[in-house]
Amino acid sequence: MFRVDYETGAIEMNVGDTGSFQIAAARDDGEQWTDDDVALFTVRDGSGADIITRTYGLNDVELGNGVIGIEFQNSDTDQLAAGSYTWEMRYVVNPLYDENGKVVDGDIVRTPGVDGLGNPMNLTLKAVYRDI
């Protein structure tokens, strides 16, 4: 089971399940995203620790400018405990990278969530019985 509430941004899924959704983001200044601009997707647990982190380009030829396809694979959640998590998406122009290729700075033009107000979105993992 995988469900996204597009009004609130809440994701509900079973531990170890798969699913995907898309987010479309326009720049606040009305410009188009470039090949250098990135989106940072992060899922955090209740203590604020990063559980899943991904970096996406914002000028995808197939999806379109500003459209990001988020996919969850079994391996993303199959070792996580059932419970409440949060997710966020940050959009960065002129990203600066560390020696490991991780974005460490840049001009953040929009912060967490699909609401554009800086609020992390809910992600709930539900336990399921397997192989019954």
> Domains in the chain, please, with CATH?
2-126 (2.60.40.10)
- Our CA dihedral for 104, 44, 10, 68, rounded to 10 degrees, sits at 30
Q: Is the dihedral of CA 37, 42, 48, 50 positive or negative?
A: negative
Instruction: Give residue 118's pLDDT.
Output: 55
pLDDT: which is higher, 8 or 50? 50
- Residues for the chain: how many in total? 132
Instruction: Give residue 88's pLDDT.
Output: 85
Average of per-residue pLDDT values in the chain: 84
pLDDT: which is higher, 122 or 20? 20
Return the minimum-mean-pLDDT range out of 16-20, 23-27, 60-64: 23-27
The string of pLDDT tens digits covering residues 58-102 is 998 899 998 999 999 999 999 989 899 988 888 888 899 999 999
